[in-house]
A and B are shown apart, each in its own frame.
Chain A
Amino acid sequence: MKYEVNNRGYYGKFGGAFIPEMLYPNVKELEKNYLKIMESDSFKTEFLSLLKNYVGRPSPLYYTKRLSDKYNINLYLKREDLNHTGSHKINNTIGQILMARHLGKKRIIAETGAGQHGVATATVCAREGLDCIVFMGATDVARQMPNVEKMQMLGATVIPVESGNKTLKDATNEAIRDWINHPKETHYIIGSVVGPHPYPDMVARFQSIISEEIRKQLQEQTGSPLPDTVIACVGGGSNAAGAFYHYLNEKTVKLVAVEADGLGLETGETAATMAAGSPGIIHGSMTMLMQTDDGQIVEPYSISAGLDYPGIGPLHAHLFDSKRANFIRATDTEAIEAAFELTRMEGIIPALESAHALAALKKLNFKKGETVVLNVSGRGDKDMEAYRKHIKSETKKEKQVDTHAEKETHDIFRASYSVPENTMQQRADEINGLYVP
């Protein structure tokens, strides 16, 4: 089985470039040039130097003493939370801003959900002196003010998106529309391993620094570059793509992707695309996505704004289809509890996204003493409000946190959406029916 993108832009049955003809020249230009640029010595030297001196890489690989004891494993955390701007997102934006410069682009656009990718993009634009326009759903603008203010301080223009459901999916649509309207001078810095080919591959390559470092660091600390298991959370899937990348062809290494399950699959209030979705096209890519019987894309739900995406990168759809990775789910509550466990046992406050990966520790059957690497994709500063609520409920001895009230939904399809019954078989049939390009 091959896990790299093929020369037509597909991972198995997934990927491709399902874009309106208006975008064809832009995407083609990028496709023709991205590898040549990325593999040039001047690009590599500058990229690696910025990752070291600006981002602060390599990020540490930290052996957890107490958590390892608790789960009877050897647990290492990859500390992407310690990067400049607070998450793995900066690895990609550094790469793409250099790409934009090599392509001669003067204007940068990006989409953002919680604002992490928006801040990472505004940051590299400030450094490069380029105009930066960030599309952000109006609902997200209202609930993520600190990140909006950061982007503005960095000199970016934040455009609240009023179309559709006013969240990440719609912000992405609006960024793509902007690109259609400004094709020549603009580079679109997409924030995850999603979108038309070559974006999923380009972003995965920029993020692959994560597993490149893990291999070296694990070799130094354990004498082998190979863990038994790698765990990462998946929304669009960029941090997981980075953490898995250099292990995709290492058959002994188990890959675990953790999706956000919101209030639980059976409630329909979920963002677990692999469990609740079916094959289709979103943002220019053939992948798995959450949709109604009529093929309308559904707004997902998760407490974590970074995992709250109705699709998933085509690489992950392929890892699922080929059974290379194991996809599991963690609910809002499980994620919050896992965040507190890490905080109180190791003194690290993780982002809500990473907390979903941590929740997997309770769900997996590990061999005693196996080596596990878990990617802590970001830090929890932005999530203090959700965590504060949990502290309050702890003191009040309330059992459940009412996480759902956090997010108002504007989704007109939600009412008609329920996770299909017999979903496993139906999904398998639909995937089997897909064409292999």
Chain B
Amino acid sequence: MNRINKLFETKKDNILSIYFTAGHPAPETASTIIELLQDNGVDMIEIGIPFSDPLADGPVIQQSSQQALADGMSLKKLLHELKTIRKNVQIPLLLMGYFNTIMHFGVESFCKQANAVGIDGVILPDLPLEVYKEQYKDMFKQYNIIPVFLITPSTPDERIRETEALSEGFIYMVSTSSTTGAKQGFSNENMSYFKRINDMNLKVPVITGFGISNKTTFEQACEYSAGAIIGSAFVKDISGEWELENKIEEFIAKLK
């Protein structure tokens, strides 16, 4: 069974998922960050594949991607770095990035190699649902890679149902109409959207992302969904000077 499905079978709420950009804050830190996140009790990890033109990302992830690329990070290097990751890491790992990188790499070789290093799922915000369904569904299935799709406050119900039908792991609920990055908490409007989605009783769990940066927003997000993803706030926190061990421990501790 895919580790993503296993996680959701054993844990139904307060799932904590962390995003970081591979190659940030410095080259060859991905494996260390993953192991530290697991050791500090994180349930799931999204590993960002840096891209030159990240359309859905705010300044923090843009800058982390640019720094990683300037330091020579590439998808090929990342997959190489992750080769031994499954020795010590048991939690689900997803790759998150933009479709051009995957397409240029070759979608099938990507799936094959991702599966070989122990990747469980992918999040590709600019791969349209329709294109996935028509061209890549069988390929992803063959290599046991679970695709995760996004819904937003303005996604029509009908499209949410289509997303549900194609989802095998979880649905990524984007909290607000925005690019990635921290917000000043969630409004009543946000909360009623979370509730509306919760009330749809989707067949797969929902995880909330975008705008979650601390304990308060994490708890708000978990009220109506199985868990939440923290990205920009974490990436910002581990920027600059190293000391990854202390920084990560403190960051996660503050959320609990």
Contact = CB atoms under 8 A, between A and B. Distances in A.
A279 B100 CA distance: 9
B200 interface: no
Contacts of B104: 278, 280, 291, 293-295
A22 B174 contact: yes
Interface string A311-335: 0000000000000000000000000
Contact of B131 (A18, A170, A283): A18
Interface stretch (B8-16, B121-129, B185-193, B212-220): B121-129
A429 B230 CA distance: 41
Contacts of A24: 152, 154-155, 159
A435 B108 CA distance: 14
A413 interface: yes
A268 interface: no
Interface in A99-118: none
Output the residue of A18, A19, A20 with the most chain B CB within 10 A.
A20
B66 interface: yes
A295 B101 contact: yes
B170 interface: no
Given A296-B51, A296-B52, A437-B134, A18 B70 contact: no
A14 to B, nearest CB: 13
A297 B54 CA distance: 11
Interface in A169-208: 169-170, 173, 176-177, 180-184
Contacts of A281: 98-100, 103, 126
A283 B53 CA distance: 9
Contacts of A279: 103
A72 B196 CA distance: 71
Given A280-B104, A281-B100, A181 B126 contact: no
B165 interface: no
Contact of A177 (B105, B149, B179): B179
B197 interface: no
B76 interface: yes
Given A25-B155, A295-B103, A295-B105, A180 B126 contact: no
A16 B103 CA distance: 15
Interface in B41-99: 51-59, 62, 66, 69-70, 74-76, 98-99
A21 interface: yes
Contacts of A278: 104
User: For A22, A282, A296, which residue has the most chain B Cβ atoms within 10 angstroms?
Assistant: A22
A177 B55 contact: yes
Contact of A180 (B102, B131, B177): B177
Contacts of B58: 177
A163 interface: yes
Chain B interface residue bracket vs A:
35 or more
A280 B100 contact: yes
Given A180-B177, A412-B70, A19 B126 contact: yes
A223 to B, nearest CB: 48
Given A25-B155, A163-B59, A280-B103, A435 B135 contact: yes
A163 B178 CA distance: 17
Interface string B159-190: 10000000000000010011100000000000
Interface residues of A, number: 38
B150 interface: yes
B151 interface: yes
B178 A284 contact: no
A173 B55 contact: yes
A164 interface: yes
A105 to B, nearest CB: 15
A18 to B, nearest CB: 5
Interface string A137-166: 000000000000000000000000001100
Contact of B100 (A21, A176, A282): A282
B98, B149, B154: which has the most chain A beta carbons within 10 Å? B154
Nearest to B51: A296
Contacts of A413: 52, 69
Nearest to A430: B104
A295 B174 contact: no
A230 interface: no
A18 B128 contact: yes
A113 to B, nearest CB: 15
Given A19-B126, A181-B177, A295-B75, 4 more contacts: A25-B152, A177-B56, A183-B154, A281-B103
5 closest Cβ pairs, A-B complex: A295-B104, A294-B74, A20-B56, A21-B150, A296-B52
Interface of B: 51-59, 62, 66, 69-70, 74-76, 98-105, 125-128, 131, 134-135, 149-152, 154-156, 159, 174, 177-179
Interface of A: 16-22, 24-25, 163-164, 169-170, 173, 176-177, 180-184, 278-284, 291, 293-297, 412-413, 435, 437
